[in-house]
Amino acid sequence: MKKSAENEEILIDADSGEELELEQEEVSNASLKGKMKDLRTQLKEAQKERDENLAGWQRAKADLANFRRVSAQDASRDAARAKGSVLKAIVPALDSFDSAMADSSWNDVDAKWREGVERIAAQFHQALEKEGLTSFGEVGDSFDPEVHECMSVVPTDDPKKDHTIMQVLQRGHTLGGELVRPAKVIVSQVEEAK
């Protein structure tokens, strides 16, 4: 920076901020050009350092955003796994209710007691459905090897009943669209003519 006085010129040193007093004769174009060249070099170095710092900051910011996203996904996946483990542990109790109520002797039980147990089973099913557990496997459904496990095959003459579930030995369950356990079923199949 320059300040003019009568016969002297004052320059301010960019590095130290000190004022340098120079006589008019001491100032030459060559020294000013040299000083300008040094200042431009320093400016380019400062800009380069700024760009490197900015790029590093942007990378760190992107890394943090990715870390947060991955952490949230991991937490969600871990919560779903924990939920799935608990629900898988409860599924055998559902099976016990289902098999008890499917047995022919169920009708011989005292009506009030039977009604109470059926109500408990219904509440149990509803609570698990709220958590995303869905039961499947009904008599008359088409056999799907993706979700059904065929335990036995029963011959049939009716082509409409070919590959149809005739009996459900154990209901299947899904949790959030993922298979928890396949349904164990007995399937009808049309016998081929010999």
In this prediction, the residues of the chain whose per-residue pLDDT falls under 50 are: 1-8, 25
Q: How high is the pLDDT of residue 69?
A: 96
Q: How high is the pLDDT of residue 71?
A: 95
Quick check: helix, strand or coil at residue 194?
A: coil
Q: pLDDT by residue (tens digit) across 99-134?
A: 888 888 888 889 999 999 999 999 988 988 898 888
Domains of the chain: 134-194 (2.30.22.10)
**Strand pairing category for 19-23 and 8-12:** antiparallel
Q: How high is the pLDDT of residue 7?
A: 44
Q: How high is the pLDDT of residue 96?
A: 87
Q: How high is the pLDDT of residue 27?
A: 59
DSSP state of 145: T
Q: How high is the pLDDT of residue 45?
A: 94
pTM of this structure:
0.57
Closest CA to 194 of 153, 155, 148, 143: 155
Give the whole-angstrom CA distance, residue 131 versus residue 113.
Answer: 28
Residue 149, Cβ density class (10 Å: 0-12 exposed, 13-18 middle, ≥19 buried):
middle
Q: How high is the pLDDT of residue 194?
A: 58
Q: How high is the pLDDT of residue 15?
A: 58
Backbone angles phi, psi at 21, to 5 degrees: -95, 125
How many CA atoms within 13 Å lie on the side-chain side of 182? 12
Closest CA to 101 of 125, 124, 118: 118
